[in-house]
Amino acid sequence: MPEMPEVLFTKSAFKIATHCPTQAYYYRNSKGKNPEYENQSATDEFLKSMAEGGFQVGELAKIYGEVPPENDLEGCFGYDEPLKRTHELFEQENVNIAEAAFRFGDCFVRADVVKKKGGFIDLIEVKAKSWDPNNPFVNTPTRGANAGRKVVDSGIRDYLYDVAFQKWVVENALKIDYPEKQFTVRAYLMMADKSKVNTIPRLNSLFRIKKSVGSDGEKRAHAEVAPEAIEILKNPHEHVLTPFYVDDECKLIIEGKTAEQADVLGMQFVPFIEEKSKWFVNNEKHYCLLGSKCFKCPFQLSEEGKAKGLKSGYEECWRNTAGFKDEDFEKPLLKELSGTGIKRDDWIRSGIYFIKDITEAVYPRKNDGTGAGWTINERKWVQIDRTNDGSKEPVILRDELRAEMATWKFPLHMIDFETTNSALPYFDGQRPYEQVAFQFSHHIIYKDGRIEHKGQFLETRPGYFPNFDFVRELRDQLGKDDGSVFRYSHHENTILNAIREQLIASKEPDKAELIEFIESITHRGKKKKDGHYEHEGERDMIDLCEVVKRFYWHPIMKGSNSIKQVLPAILNSGTYLQEKYGKPIYGSEIKSCNYTAESPLTLIVKNESGEVQNPYKALPQLKEIQDELIGEIAAQGLWSKEELEQYVQSASADEMDAEEDTRINNGGLPLVLFRSFQALDPSVDWEKAITAANPSKDAIKYNALRKGLLKYCELDTMSMVLIWEYFNNLTKE
């Protein structure tokens, strides 16, 4: 029998173990060529897009750390090769290394950047996180259980624990590897500094995300440094990526002197490492106490994972610790409840796992509402009561909803934004993670019931800051009347207030008018007792999500008010919408900016079991949109369709190629595509770069992806229209 390869306790394993040691076991056994458990975080597209931003930060850190290419050990795999190379490089008196390797006992770390200057070792952990240097990493609360004791800020805890783990491993490894030498290890966290303003145009685009296929056949992302990046970064500029000195905080953590360790780790820091590393390398499974965090466990089983014969770590924990049987996983669990007053951790510790076990002694009913509709408590009890009754029908406060809708002023405007941000700003003059608003969609509902996709905005030109034109176009589209404006949840209000701050600091000639417009449709400041805000526009956007919360609940929604849950609920609740939108009227009877009478969209399609399919699945695949463009060019007679298809497929493997067989139907993809657009040559007019004589590959992809983004965002506001139509029909019955 072949000997099993050695497995060591790495940074990733340590981080997972700090949240749940049992998950560390599942993590170990979800890797390799023959995984035992499914790990859904490995396939989460939004998490992947976030990780790709980390690759960009990592490459910039190597440049700032003055790591020569030959000292970048990223291409060294396993344990032995990087350890050997690190030891060789450490023979130099002064040396800078990326991905240096250190081992102490069962623990193994790859340090992002190490700078050796004689006996001093600067250990730099790089994170795509932002931090305000005015905020301390460790606080001393004046009240509560930890009053007078040092506590690591929860917002930075994972990151400080990470670098403290590395410092502990590196210090101990050096004592063993170099017993005759004295080293001083100083710990740093290199992060985006919120106080810094970027002075490099298109900084983000100096680090372009590329996709490549590894030896295991999996497609992976990495950041490629643009050829001009090094020269640009040699010029004086503001470093938005800053090394924060955290050595003192790491010493406190390693010595077990921060008070949160008992709650977070269950013991002090070093004993935790020693115990959990032993469990990990020996592949020991130890079950932990259950809690609400278990509901977000990534080791749950999807249909795809089930087909592959993988196991569910999530189910194993509940079977072992709570005695669950197969049928218990089908019962409504506490994970379906959340919000103010819901104490899931306390309930789980007392053995309450199911909604049916919640009593008034556990969660008292309250009747303290003063406004129209349910309070949070009342709505939770609607959910609890109807779930326990097994009801399949929605609950609607019809009269109250009718009265609420009577206050809305026609025409009604439904708007939705697509925005992004990044640790490395896209534009000069921006701080890390400052918002960029690059797209919106706008539907209008008239008093006579007519619906129209009135307008849209999409700015993807590389190097072009879109925010102020975004607001100008939104003002022009909404400013023709004083009808009610609707958003879904808080995002649009937050973004417009962020742009307001940008305008205040800007030199835009019309900034006063733009600020006035923003203030007219938003609110800011604290909420007062009367339900209004300190600063509230006369046309403050109405939150359709809040309307849902106060007047409507459906069993399909369970405890979620996300539009992705509400939409299937209303579409499956009656025949009115199904009959109307089961026909290809969208783009013909209903005017659209992206669909035509010749090529309309059937929004509602039922599956084989008679359930309404998610309308986002009706969106065309990006490959289909690209083929349409190719067909239009081929019709001009200079290229055959086959020649064009072959030509386009020869493009390099980057982000714009990676998603061509998908639909733009998840929240993470527009962010990724905006980043890829910004990496293009800013001297080219990409929207006009397609000609029959010279059909640029990148231009075809650029325009296909733009069309996909426009159709995606249009469906977001049409979803809001569908919710209104459903409510309007109900209140007329």
Residue pLDDT, tens place only, 481-540: 999 999 999 999 999 999 999 999 999 999 999 999 999 999 999 988 878 889 999 999
Going by the DSSP 8-state scheme, the letter that residue 556 receives in this structure is G
Using DSSP's 3-state secondary structure scheme, residue 243 falls into strand
Q: Which pLDDT belongs to residue 296?
A: 92
Mode of pairing for the β-strands spanning 485-487 and 412-420: parallel
Question: How far is it, in rounded angstroms, from Cα 733 to Cα 730?
Answer: 5
pTM of this prediction?
A: 0.91
Q: Which pLDDT belongs to residue 1?
A: 33
Q: Which pLDDT belongs to residue 43?
A: 60
Q: Which pLDDT belongs to residue 140?
A: 94
Q: Which pLDDT belongs to residue 574?
A: 77
- Span between the terminal Cα atoms of the chain, in Å: 73
Q: Which pLDDT belongs to residue 697?
A: 74
**95-132 per-position pLDDT tens digit:** 999 999 999 999 999 999 999 999 999 999 999 999 99
Q: Which pLDDT belongs to residue 646?
A: 67
* Count of Cβ atoms closer than 10 Å to residue 11 Cβ: 19
Question: How far is it, in rounded angstroms, from Cα 728 to Cα 402?
Answer: 8
Question: How far is it, in rounded angstroms, from Cα 153 to Cα 132?
Answer: 13
Neighbouring residues of 237: CB distance < 8 A, sequence distance ≥ 6: 199, 200
Question: How far is it, in rounded angstroms, from Cα 670 to Cα 659?
Answer: 11
User: CA 547, 549, 551, 554 torsion: positive or negative?
Assistant: positive
Task: Decide: 21 and 118 in contact? Cβ < 8 Å.
Answer: no
**Within the chain, which residues score under 70 in pLDDT?**
1-5, 42-52, 212-220, 637-641, 643-668, 690-695, 733
**564-597 per-position pLDDT tens digit:** 889 999 998 878 999 999 999 999 999 999 999 9
Phi-psi region of 50 (alpha: psi -120 to 50; beta: other; left: phi over 0): alpha
Among 169, 82, 187, smallest CA distance to 126 is for 187
**675-715 per-position pLDDT tens digit:** 888 988 898 888 877 665 566 777 888 888 888 899 989 99
Task: Decide: 18 and 158 in contact? Cβ < 8 Å.
Answer: yes
Task: Decide: 108 and 10 in contact? Cβ < 8 Å.
Answer: yes
Question: How far is it, in rounded angstroms, from Cα 155 to Cα 153?
Answer: 5
555, exposed or middle or buried, with CB in 10 Å at 0-12, 13-18, 19+? middle
- What's the CA angle centered on 689, arms 688 and 692, to 5 degrees? 105
Q: Which two tokens stand for residue 702?
A: 């650029």
Q: Which pLDDT belongs to residue 3?
A: 46
- Tell me the sheet residues that pair with 458: 439
